[in-house]
């Protein structure tokens, strides 16, 4: 699909996200749909521009929001920030997915937990602190489902940068060439 065509198709959805909100800082169902489609079309700057409006109000009943649309907006905003190497903003957007109240831990929240951890390692050199408003059960469940990522964070934090890197292993081709 042509990028200009995609932009033209997404323009009405962006307009709907902005105009159906009671005020510019309120999340609507169109925000999540727009963020997902724009991110899939690699229009990261457009998603970040919408996310930079600092969404501070969520009215699920009044706006017709579902948990999925809230998660989609913040997840794809985090992916867009990460694609543009705005690591701190990505960590914050992924953290927002962890504080969305829900009856069960979703796969989106687990994926956001993993990405948040990696973005935190890139930006600060250590794993980010858990958000203050997150439920302990959700945090424990996400950590349990992402145990390998937590091990990466531990290894990353304890890495000795002054030591010599391990010796490189030769590929099969190089081994054959190295034989007498």
Candidates 136, 137, 95, 86; CA nearest to 114 is 95
At 29-72, the pLDDT tens digits run 888 889 999 999 999 999 999 999 887 778 777 777 888 888 99
Task: Scan for tokens 């925000």, then name that residue.
Answer: 31
Which residues, other chains included, contact 111 with Cβ-Cβ below 8 Å and sequence gap of 6+? 75
What is the rounded CA–CA span in Å between residue 149 and residue 158?
Answer: 14
What does the pLDDT look like over 110-121, one tens digit per residue? Answer: 899 899 999 999
CA distance 47 to 82: 11
pTM assigned to the model: 0.80
Q: Identify whether the C-beta of residue 110 lies closer than 8 Å to the C-beta of residue 94.
A: no
């Amino acid at each position: 699909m042509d990028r200009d065509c995609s932009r033209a198709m997404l323009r009405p959805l962006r307009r709907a996200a902005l105009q159906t909100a009671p005020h510019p800082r309120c999340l609507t169902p169109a925000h999540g749909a727009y963020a997902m489609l724009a991110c899939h079309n690699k229009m990261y700057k457009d998603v970040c521009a919408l996310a930079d409006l600092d969404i501070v109000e969520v009215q699920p009943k009044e706006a017709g929001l579902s948990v999925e649309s809230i998660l989609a907006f913040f997840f794809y905003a985090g992916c867009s920030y990460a694609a543009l190497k705005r690591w701190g903003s990505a960590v914050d957007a992924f953290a927002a997915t962890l504080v969305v109240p829900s009856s069960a831990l979703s796969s989106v929240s687990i994926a956001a937990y993993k990405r948040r951890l990696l973005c935190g390692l890139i930006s600060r050199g250590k794993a980010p602190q858990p958000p203050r408003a997150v439920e302990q059960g959700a945090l424990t469940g996400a950590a349990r489902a992402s145990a390998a990522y937590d091990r990466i964070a531990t290894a990353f934090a304890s890495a000795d940068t002054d030591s010599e890197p391990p010796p490189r292993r030769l590929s099969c081709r190089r081994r054959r060439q190295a034989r007498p």
